Amino acid sequence: MSAKPFNDNFLKACRGEEHSHVPVWYMRQAGRYQAEYRKIREKYSLFEITHRPEVCAEVTMLPIHQLDVDAAILFADIMTPMPAMGIDVEIKSSIGPVIANPITGKGDVEKLRKLEPSEHVPYILDTIKLLREELRVPLIGFAGAPFTLASYLIEGGPSRNYYKTKAFMHSDPEAWHLLMDRLGEMTVTYLKAQMAAGAQAVQVFDSWVGALNAQDYAQFVAPIMNRIFSELEEESAPKIMFGVGAGHLLHEWDRLPLDVIGLDWRTPISFARGQGVTKTVQGNLDPGLLLASWPEIEKKTRGILDEGMQTPGFIFNLGHGVYPQVQVETLQRLTAFIHEYSAKNN
């Protein structure tokens, strides 16, 4: 065990407080770009990893040791709680979640079961407890948001244009809202259980909600997001909201009782501020840039830091997850650069 002091820069940034350097973590910081992860995956599927707290904690900690990031994110998937609700899901390599029994109507929604975390996902709670004994950085828990989860459940897998989801939403609003309620209830229950087990912050992934225009978002999604964050308001752990291509929804998110807004790579920090975002922001280097040469990466990173550091509390991240093709050395160098540059220019 190391005697390293606890690094709370990430939690301070979430709360908009001054910190000694800009904290950084990366979405998908544990994954296939790491040889150690690929080796573990030869033996276990993604679900098998998450069902084994010791293996799952080891995978969660890989990037902490390797990259020196300022936060850990629980290794799991947004689909992890779905089997407990009655969804037959498999995570297929290079595809994503594939559902054997997609939702086609109200009857399917009514059949969805309630998540009881200690009964259905005890392994997740055990992994969190194990991690808290080991980690010297904060642990981020997470859950999928109703729209993004519903898109998988209705489409049956990943989608480009979400037409089945949109058709469902517009043709049977009552069933849609029931589906949002059931999934939203899961999100709240699951996140509360993660925080009770020791997660010190949580991120809600609404990765694909940017597919909706602002009007449909307001009608079909905003009510459940309001409810989720009001039900989580009493929890002291900071809450982060993230979606891809959601620049047109940022003003809605800024009104919610949450702490941090995650920006994708197409949403400049200045644009977000121009939209009225007052909260701490997290982001947003284009993950594709990690495959470019170092001078380009450094230049773009410097630009993001210069903008982000104009307000106290900024968290560096990518605009979406790390690609499997990225070199570990690139992320090591990037992390060191962010720490050094932000400490010097504070």
Our answer to whether residue 28 is catalytic in this structure is yes
Among 15, 32, 52, 106, binds ligand CP3 (CB under 6 A): 32
Report in angstroms the alpha-carbon separations of 240 from 37, 53, 142, 260.
Answer: 26, 25, 9, 5
77 annotated active-site? yes
CB of 46 to ligand CP3, least distance (A): 5
Per the rule left: phi > 0, alpha: psi between -120 and 50, beta: everything else, 239 is beta
Q: Closest separation between CB of residue 72 and ligand CP3, Å?
A: 9
Closest approach of ligand CP3 to the CB of residue 122, in Å = 19
127 binds ligand CP3 (CB under 6 A): no
List 91, 178, 309, 328, residue binding ligand CP3 (CB under 6 A): 91
Residue nearest to ligand CP3 (CB): 207
Nearest by Cα to 345 from 287, 301, 290, 283:
301
Decide: 280 and 314 in contact? Cβ < 8 Å: yes
Of the residues 1, 3, 93, 293, which one makes contact with ligand CP3 according to CB under 6 A: 93
**Beta bridge pairs of residue 73:** 140
- Assign 8 to helix, strand or coil: coil
| Contact status: 75 vs ligand CP3 (CB under 6 A) | yes
Contact segment (CB under 6 A) with ligand CP3 among 86-94, 224-232, 249-257, 303-311 equals: 86-94
Q: How far apart are CA 313 and CA 21, in angstroms?
A: 10
* Minimum CB–partner distance for residue 241 and ligand CP3 (Å): 12
Contact by Cβ (8 Å): 281, 314: yes
Q: Is 266 a catalytic residue?
A: no
Query: From the CB of 248, what's the least distance to ligand CP3, in Å?
Result: 18
Residue (of 70, 26, 74, 19) closest to 317 by Cα position? 26
Q: Which of 137, 3, 149 is nearest to 73 (CA)?
A: 137
Using the rule CB under 6 A, which residue among 28, 177, 239, 339 binds ligand CP3? 28
Q: What is the size of the binding site for ligand CP3 (CB under 6 A)?
A: 23
**Burial of 296 per CB tally in 10 Å (0-12, 13-18, 19+):** exposed
Q: According to the binding rule CB under 6 A, does residue 46 interact with ligand CP3?
A: yes
Cβ distance 253 to 221 under 8 Å?
Answer: no
Span near ligand CP3 by CB under 6 A; candidates 1-9, 88-96, 213-221, 224-232: 88-96
Give the helix/strand (H/E) hosting 241.
strand 239-242
Out of 33, 142, 220, 229, the only residue in the binding site for ligand CP3 (CB under 6 A) is 142
Q: Which one of the listed residues 33, 37, 152, 190 is annotated catalytic?
A: 152
Figure out which of the listed residues 7, 187, 200, 207 binds ligand CP3, where binding follows CB under 6 A.
Answer: 207
- Give yes or no for residue 31 binding ligand CP3 (CB under 6 A): yes
Angle at 68 between CA 67 and CA 71, to 5 degrees: 105
- In eight-state DSSP terms, residue 235 is -
Surface-to-core class of residue 46, CB atoms within 10 Å of its CB (0-12 exposed, 13-18 middle, 19+ buried): buried
Polymer length of the chain = 346
Active-site residue (options: 8, 26, 28, 286): 28
Is residue 29 a contact point for ligand CP3 (CB under 6 A)?
Answer: yes
Exactly one of 15, 16, 36, 41 binds ligand CP3 (CB under 6 A); which one?
A: 41
Query: In a 3-state reduction of DSSP, which class is residue 239?
Result: strand
Interacting positions 263-322 with ligand CP3 (CB under 6 A): 321
Catalytic residues: 28, 32, 41, 77, 152
Binding interface with ligand CP3 (CB under 6 A): 27-32, 41, 46, 73, 75, 77-78, 91, 93-97, 142, 158, 205, 207, 321
